[in-house]
Structure 1
Amino acid sequence: MSTPPFEDLLERARAMTTGPRRILGLVGAPGSGKSTLAARLAGALGPRRCVVVPMDGYHYADVVLEALGRRDRKGASDTFDVGGYVSLLRRLRSGEEAVVHAPEFRREIEEPVGSALPVPREVPLVLTEGNYLLLREGPWAALEGLIDETWYLEPPEELRLERLVARHVAFGKDPAAARAWALGSDAANARVIAATRERADLVVTPS
């Protein structure tokens, strides 16, 4: 499968910075390169035209996951505050507030931090990235119509797993535990995400 070069992706994103505010979504399995591409696009467009607001800011805190008995499934579709994320996208689309402050997920502590990402009204493009932007089951169905365009990232599977394991190791897991998580909980989530691929406006195969 061929994929547009970065310059073409950048031009496609730049075209969304004219007119009223638009929301561009990047979706894909864990380790597919969503954060990397989001940062690259935002860096090229500049902070006056694009702000990145990841879905991961709506991870339930570990204390909540423990209470729900879902700590060992962190990252599954039912371990997020979906209603909070939906409300954020609605606020961002409305443009009624001078600044909307979104939460941010900090991997070094594995917890979300509230109100860490300011999004001024004047910024025309919000780039949001996450695993379940195209899921339409349960509370995720409320995302319908809130994201203007969604790109599905699909790197070679071996590369995705390599990056994912390396990321888990970088943030504190030993190599064996990192691989076990990538092939266990992460793999189960990846299958759910892959089933949403057909809803994407564009499939990107990063290398």
Structure 2
Amino acid sequence: MTIVYLIRHGQTYFNRYNKMQGWSDSPLTEQGIADAKRVGEIFKNTHFQYTCSSDANRARNTVRVILEQNKANSPRSIEIPDFRECFYGFFEGMNASEAWIMSGHLAGCHTYNEIINKFNLDKTKDLMHEADPFKDAETANQYWQRIERAFKTLASKIDFSTADPVLLVTHGTTIRSIAGRYGINQGFDITDSPRNGSITTIEINSKSEIDIKDYNKLNI
């Protein structure tokens, strides 16, 4: 098993304005750059066998700032596009509270957490797909096909003979979904969104089987 640190990218302007941000992309704020620098300070003496991110600029720029502080000659980051955030289709860029009212009302829910508490995380994706007039928002099945493919790609690049960890910068709903799916019996509170610059620790093996060790921490 190899340790992989999942980092949520630094705060963006869409995060600050409470807008839906899946495949849409807004720049890091000054706070977002500070989020990345804080993570970089934590890992400045850690040699990563490799580092990676999704292909979103907010993830790319977060990992770049982290590696600028790394003194252990960790390699330059690669991109795994399948680690993108969930695609929200018609709802991209919309006020998040309004988007979840529109998506959840047919199920008697008015917030994201109401949907999670009444159903589960996968239901949030399926309800948004159903509410999307263009049906572009990802279903849970479409989303997990992509994320499972991403983990196979990640595992294929790991040298399991070394103890050196891997660093992956990805996204809030993606990290929360991974914790909910693979850490379902471990008591993690997935009603709390991962904070920008937070660290979720997992272990992965050569078969891309995953064990969640910690969720949404600001240190290790």
> Normalising to structure 2: TM-score of the pair?
0.28
* Structure with a larger share of its residues in strand: 1
Higher helix share: 1
**What is the TM-score normalised by the length of structure 1?**
0.29
